[in-house]
Copies of this chain bind each other. A is one copy, B any other.
Amino acid sequence: MDTRKRIIKVAKSLFHNRSYADVGIKEICDKADIQKGSFYHFFSAKRDLVLAVIEEFAEDWAHGFVHEAFDPDLPPMERIDYLIDAAYFWQKAAKNLEGHMPGCLFGNLALEISTQDDVLRAKLSAVFHMARERFKSTLDEAVASKIIAPLDTQRTAEAMLAYLEGMILIAKASNDPETIYRLGSALKSIRIEINA
- Quickly give the copy total for this chain: 2
Quick check: is A166 within 8 A (CB to CB) of the other chain? yes
Quick check: is A150 within 8 A (CB to CB) of the other chain? no
For the complex, what is the distance from the CA of A179 to the CA of B173, rounded to whole Å? Answer: 23
Residue of B nearest to A112 (CB): B19
For the complex, what is the distance from the CA of A191 to the CA of B189, rounded to whole Å? Answer: 7
Most B-side CB within 10 Å, residue of A103, A162, A174: A162
- Categorize the interface residue count of chain A: 35 or more
Question: Is there contact, CB below 8 Å, between B121 and A112?
Answer: no
Quick check: is A1 within 8 A (CB to CB) of the other chain? no
Question: Is there contact, CB below 8 Å, between A175 and B121?
Answer: yes
Quick check: is A102 within 8 A (CB to CB) of the other chain? yes
Most B-side CB within 10 Å, residue of A118, A124, A174: A174
Quick check: is A163 within 8 A (CB to CB) of the other chain? yes
From B108, B114, B124, B166, contact of A112 by CB (8 A): B108
Question: Is there contact, CB below 8 Å, between A18 and B121?
Answer: no
Q: Which residues of chain A (66-121) have a CB below 8 Å from chain B?
A: 98, 100-103, 107-108, 110-116, 118, 121
Quick check: is A29 within 8 A (CB to CB) of the other chain? no
Measured between C-beta atoms, what is the minimum distance from A186 to chain B in Å?
A: 4
* A-B residue pairs, 4 tightest by C-beta: A166-B166, A21-B21, A162-B166, A100-B115
In the assembled complex, 12 residue pairs joining A and B whose CB atoms fall closer than 8 Å, in A order, are: A19-B19, A21-B21, A101-B114, A108-B111, A110-B173, A118-B175, A121-B173, A158-B179, A158-B183, A166-B169, A185-B192, A189-B191
